[in-house]
Amino acid sequence: MMELIRKRLAEPGGWLRLAVVATVPAALGAAFVFAAGWLSPGRLTPATFMHTFLVTSGAQPGFRRNHAKGVCVTGWFDGNVETASFSRAALFTSMRSPVVGRFALAGGMPYQDDTPGTVRSLALRIMPAHGGEWRMGINDIPVFPAPDAATFNALLLASWPDSRTGKPDPTRMAAFLVQHPETKRALALISSRRLTSGFADDTYNSLDSFTFVNAQGIATPVRWAMVPEQKDHPPAPQEKGPDYLFNDLITAIGQGALHWHLIVTLGNPGDPTADPALPWSGPHRQLDAGTLTLTAAQSEDGGPCTGITYDPLVLPDGIAPSDDPIPAARSAVYSRSFTLRSGEIKPASAITPADVNPGAQ
């Protein structure tokens, strides 16, 4: 065979043909390397965010890379059939759909102390009997602090506490805010929000815009909130212990079911769907799309919310993404976090099974 190759190369154009043999696979390989981002170290990838959380929170094997401190909750969702004129999602017309949820605090530190001002989140997985599952992660702030993933990553790095003082470096943060007036505006809205006493009396907002699609295919931009039936109280005047928010939630849920209403805001023409850092202002039509009932809490250790990810793009037919760039970024980053933590050995969570069920020990 080598003899034949030598003979062919001696023919006119022989070397040119060999160059084609080498170039085509090499070009394909180079295109693959380019697509993988290995030639663009500045590209924002899920790995960028993993590194950011490693820098800001330290290595926390087995835990979610963000919203690391949490507990599982279970209950159900009863949809309001009238929502069907805006979304054909089965969960609005189904009989009671089981729910596995998770209350958590923002930040990658799984043992951080509870404080009144830390952003609280509620993640939900609503599972109608015949498919059409809906997952979401919603927060007790009015807007997302950044219009896009790159700005959010930069904000996390800028607000990372200095290792000596334990507080964010004010000059670094100030420099960031000069460059990002949109984040400055969003943070002003976030810091002026009305705080409540705990998880049970808090309102959680989608922040991101999505699209409801009805049976006729008519699309409506939406944002939504889970609004508590529980009467809200101001935060407790003094410190109540490192896990007080979670302990209060476990106590409240032990005394009786907790309820929230899914209040959907229908977008007006011109509402900024593509920018979750901007609120929708002015009058809006809202509908009560259903009731969430939570009846039990469980520790993450062995709990039903641990082995899944609250990917905001797990949407039923009838609810679709919008031009908001953040859900895609969250989906991609959560997927990476889920893969990493699922392959790691996780130490005990801050809220252990004994904390949730003291009598069971």
Partner 1 sequence: MPPVPRFPLFARLLHWLMAAMILTMLFIGIFMVTSVGPAYQRLVDIHRPLGICILLLAVIRLLNRFMMRAPSLPDTLPLPLQRIAHASHIVLYTLMIGMPLIGWAMLSAGDYPVTMWNGIALPPILPHDPVLFAFLRGLHTWLAFALFATILAHLSAALLHGLILRDGVWQTMALRWNPAKRRDAG
The residues annotated with a catalytic role in the active site are 67
Nearest distance from C-beta of residue 319 to partner 1, angstroms: 10
- C-beta of 245 vs 333, nearer to partner 1: 333
Cα–Cα distance between 56 and 49 in angstroms, integer? 10
Nearest distance from C-beta of residue 49 to partner 1, angstroms: 7
Q: What angle do CA 357, 358, 360 make, to 5 degrees?
A: 70
Q: How many beta carbons lie within 10 A of that of residue 113, not counting itself?
A: 15
Rule CB under 8 A: which residues touch partner 1?
1, 4-5, 8-9, 14, 17-18, 20-22, 24-25, 28-29, 31-32, 35-37, 43-49, 131-133, 149, 306-309, 311, 313-314, 316-318, 321, 323, 325, 327-329, 331-333, 338-340, 342-343
The answer to whether 100 and 125 are in contact (CB under 8 A) is yes
- C-beta of 44 vs 250, nearer to partner 1: 44
Show the tokens assigned to 351: 């809220």
Cα–Cα distance between 243 and 246 in angstroms, integer? 6
H or E element at residue 254: helix 244-255
- C-beta of 61 vs 234, nearer to partner 1: 61
Nearest distance from C-beta of residue 181 to partner 1, angstroms: 23
- C-beta of 213 vs 227, nearer to partner 1: 213
Nearest distance from C-beta of residue 334 to partner 1, angstroms: 11
Cα–Cα distance between 350 and 301 in angstroms, integer? 10
Show the 3-state SS of 165-188. Answer: CCCECHHHHHHHHHHCHHHHHHHH
Nearest distance from C-beta of residue 91 to partner 1, angstroms: 11
3-class DSSP assignment, residue 31: helix
Give me the sign of the Cα torsion angle 41, 180, 105, 293: negative
Show the tokens assigned to 198: 């705990």
